A and B are shown apart, each in its own frame.
Chain A
Amino acid sequence: DTGVSQDPRHKITKRGQNVTFRCDPISEHNRLYWYRQTLGQGPEFLTYFQNEAQLEKSRLLSDRFSAERPKGSFSTLEIQRTEQGDSAMYLCASSLLTGGNRAGELFFGEGSRLTVL
C-alpha cells in the first residue's frame, strides 16, 4: 500500500497522559499536514511541513501540541497532558508541491481517533 498511513488508528487514554501519533506520507510527497476533526465539523488545520521544515502552526493550538518531521519523511504529533477536549480524529495528509502548484491536492490517511477519558 503506497497511500498515507497513520498509527495508531484508535487511542483511548486517561486525562493527563501523553499520546503520540505517527504519519507516514506518500514517499515522494514533500508536504505533510496535520488536521483535527470533531463530529460534524470539517478538518481543522493544525500544522504543516515542507520537507522537514514546519511552515506554520495554528494559533488555536496550545503548547501541549507539538509536531515533528525530522528527516522530511514520517511525522509525529504529540499531545502532552491530554484533556477531554482533545478527543477528536487526527488526520494526516500529504501532497507534492511542484512548480505546477498542485499542492492543494491532498491525500489523506484514515486518521487516528483519540478518546480522552
Chain B
Amino acid sequence: GQQLNQSPQSMFIQEGEDVSMNCTSSSIFNTWLWYKQDPGEGPVLLIALYKAGELTSNGRLTAQFGITRKDSFLNISASIPSDVGIYFCAGPSGYSSASKIIFGSGTRLSIRP
C-alpha cells in the first residue's frame, strides 16, 4: 500500500531558526496535508494543499505541493517554543481525495536548550 516517509525523524533547533521538513511517497498523491500534534492531544490541521506546485502559507508556516506530486515540504520561519511538537504529513491513499487518509511517521521538533 501507499506509504509516506518523513524526514528528518527529529530535529533540534535554536529559537529563531528556520525549519524545513519533507514528506515523500513512492506513488502520486492528489492532496497533501500537514498536521501538528502536541503531547496528550490529537493532531491539528495546519495546511492543506490540493494542486501540484501549490505554495500555501499559514502565518510562519509555508507548505508546498511538489511538482511530481510525490512529495511535499513544510517550512517554519523564525521558530518559537510553541512550535515544539510532532509534525505529520498525510494524504488520501487512493486516487480520490475522498479515500481514507494515511499519515507519515512524523518529524519531532525540539528546542535546543
Contacts and interface: CB of A to CB of B under 8 A. Distances in A.
Interface of A: 4, 33, 35, 40-45, 48, 55-56, 91, 93, 97, 101-111
Contacts of A44: 103
Given A43-B88, A91-B42, A101 B105 contact: no
Given A104-B91, A105-B33, A45 B42 contact: no
B48 A104 contact: yes
A41 B104 CA distance: 8
Contacts of A109: 42
Q: Which 4 A-B pairs have the closest CB atoms?
A: A108-B42, A42-B103, A101-B97, A42-B105
A110 B40 contact: yes
Interface residues of B, number: 27
16 contacts: A33-B100, A45-B102, A101-B31, A101-B97, A102-B97, A103-B97, A103-B101, A104-B48, A104-B97, A104-B101, A105-B33, A106-B45, A106-B90, A108-B41, A108-B43, A111-B41
Interface of B: 4, 6, 31, 33, 35, 40-45, 48, 88, 90-93, 96-98, 100-106
Given A91-B42, A109-B42, A110-B40, A102 B48 contact: yes
Given A43-B88, A104-B48, A104-B92, A33 B42 contact: no
B104 A45 contact: no
Contact of A42 (B41, B48, B88): B88
